């Protein structure tokens, strides 16, 4: 290689090095592996299997329906069911880096009635929309990190939606431990 090529190669290396060092920055925080959230492990680590935390038959039993059928699945999972009390809508959500304090703030912002409770010894929240006695949600800390929640809404009659949501939360913690 002649001197001219060496000079060009050296100039390129020096320029690239200067550009790379000029573009660095420090980002505050703690790195966590993808899918783990803020803890050391998570029960909801496989995309779209979170909706299988409780079997459809157990969901139907918990809400007093003859059956449930699956609707949308993603960060929020939905089922519709029907039974002696009519149509029931069930929603499950999980947030691997969520907190109950954030859930409380969101529910307060919506004007929901909120009660502190426990599910399987874990801190939880029971939430109701004002003037809607046929729907209720329960959010709880997950068994490792983050939070999950169940909402049950009866369109007419039905059992206590808060008890149904709490039962689903208990089943989630029992199945994911």
Domain 50-176 classification at class level: mainly beta
- Going by C-alpha positions, the residue among 90, 119, 95, 118 that lies closest to residue 106 is 95
Running DSSP on this structure, what letter comes out for residue 81? E
- What tens digit of pLDDT does each residue of 33-90 get? 444 444 433 445 555 578 888 999 999 999 999 999 988 777 789 999 999 878 999 9
How crowded is residue 33: how many other Cβ atoms within 10 Å of its Cβ?
8
Running DSSP on this structure, what letter comes out for residue 32? -
pTM metric for this prediction: 0.72
Domain residue ranges of the chain, discontinuous segments joined by +: 50-176
Chain centroid offset of residue 142 CA: 9
What beta strand segments (E) does 19-169 contain?
67-70, 76-83, 86-95, 113-119, 122-128, 135-141, 147-154
- What tens digit of pLDDT does each residue of 116-163 get? 999 998 999 999 999 999 999 999 998 778 899 999 999 987 789 999
Expressed in percent and rounded to 5, the helix, strand and coil fractions of the chain are 30, 30, 40
């Amino acid at each position: 290689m002649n001197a001219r090529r060496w000079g060009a190669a050296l100039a390129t290396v020096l320029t690239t090095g200067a550009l790379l060092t000029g573009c660095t920055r420090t980002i505050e925080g703690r790195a966590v592996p993808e899918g783990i959230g803020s803890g050391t492990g998570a029960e909801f680590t496989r995309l779209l299997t979170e909706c299988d935390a409780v079997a459809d038959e157990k969901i139907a039993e918990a809400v007093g329906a003859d059956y449930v059928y699956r609707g949308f699945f993603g960060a929020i999972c939905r089922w519709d069911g029907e039974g002696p009390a009519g149509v029931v809508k069930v929603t499950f959500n999980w947030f691997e880096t969520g907190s109950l304090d954030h859930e409380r703030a969101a529910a307060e912002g919506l004007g929901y009635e909120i009660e502190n409770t426990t599910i399987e010894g874990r801190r939880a929240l029971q939430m109701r929309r004002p003037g809607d006695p046929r729907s209720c949600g329960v959010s709880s800390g997950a068994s490792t990190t983050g939070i999950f929640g169940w909402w049950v809404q009866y369109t007419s009659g039905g059992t206590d939606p808060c008890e149904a949501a709490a039962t689903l939360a208990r089943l989630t913690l029992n199945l994911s431990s």
